Amino acid sequence: GAGVSQSPSNKVTEKGKDVELRCDPISGHTALYWYRQSLGQGLEFLIYFQGNSAPDKSGLPSDRFSAERTGGSVSTLTIQRTQQEDSAVYLCASSAKGQGISYEQYFGPGTRLTVT
Amino acid sequence: DAKTTQPPSMDCAEGRAANLPCNHSTISGNEYVYWYRQIHSQGPQYIIHGLKNNETNEMASLIITEDRKSSTLILPHATLRDTAVYYCIVRVRRSQGNLIFGKGTKLSVKP
């Protein structure tokens, strides 16, 4: 079946502009996660959704970062007034919940954001 | 979640078994060992997980020591496509919190 998809795959923006990154999770997955990975660095957690609510936003690096999820499906990560240090690959993952499911996270291909 | 320790890099000859170690000496009784890998320019991919018994699936085998303080991921016949960073993560099963990725082991499979 279809996996997690993200768009755009690449985004180049000028410093100070706002950007929106989109994630389409696997159908039926109730949990959705955003991570980012800077060049040569490990994966850094940003935010976690359960349904449309975000019980854990602890990883968002500043108030320029926000995310929403609608209809328990698509999520959008918005970065306002982008800075060069925001350049990274932004990864989305989703997982299912329920009897007999072990909650593995399935990742999308990522959006590579470059702030010039 | 318990902390894990992995070697930063390993090499393996194509066709041979790749054995990737992980230490997790502070693991709790209700924590599982999960393995993910990240091939260059792709998102991480789930491989396998286990509690205390050895586990095997179509991708790999997981051997967990009896005291559960360490484990080994085994790729029985490594191919060039297995070149990736492999992450060992310890967490409570059925947890819906975020994964905590360490630095992992960069496995290079060589022809």
CB A18 within 8 A of CB A66: no
pLDDT tens digits, one per residue of B51-81: 998 999 999 999 999 999 999 999 999 999 9
Residue A102 has pLDDT above 70, yes or no: no
Residue A65 has pLDDT above 80, yes or no: yes
pLDDT tens digits, one per residue of B94-111: 677 788 888 999 999 999
Interchain CB distance below 8 Å, B96 and A31: yes
What percent of chain A clears pLDDT 90, i.e. is strictly above it?
71
Separation in Å, CA of B69 to nearest CA in chain A: 22
Residue A115 has pLDDT above 70, yes or no: yes
Interchain CB distance below 8 Å, A42 and B43: no
* CA dist., res. A116 & res. A82, Å (int): 9
Interchain CB distance below 8 Å, B97 and A110: no
Residue A55 has pLDDT above 90, yes or no: no
The dihedral through the CA atoms of A23, B95, A64, A83 has a sign that is: negative
Pairing assessment for the beta strands B61-64 and B55-56 based on DSSP bridges = antiparallel
Chain A residues 34-53 within an 8 A CB cutoff of chain B: 35, 42-43, 45, 48, 50
* CA dist., res. B50 & res. B64, Å (int): 8
CB neighbours of B30 closer than 8 A, spacing ≥ 6?
B92, B93
Amino acid at B38: Q
pLDDT of residue A99: 55
Residue B1 has pLDDT above 70, yes or no: no
Residue A101 has pLDDT above 70, yes or no: no
Separation in Å, CA of B77 to nearest CA in chain A: 24
The position carrying tokens 């970065």 is A79
Interchain CB distance below 8 Å, B49 and A33: no
CB contacts < 8 A, A to B, total: 52
Residue B2 has pLDDT above 70, yes or no: no
**How many angstroms from the chain centroid is the CA of residue B24?**
12
CB neighbours of B65 closer than 8 A, spacing ≥ 6?
B71
Separation in Å, CA of B8 to nearest CA in chain A: 12
Q: What is the mean pLDDT of residues A89-95?
A: 95
Interchain CB distance below 8 Å, A103 and B98: no
| Chain A contact set for B101 (CB, 8 A) | 42-43
Tell me the two tokens of residue A73. 């499906």
A98: left (phi over 0), alpha (psi -120 to 50) or beta: left
pLDDT of residue A104: 84
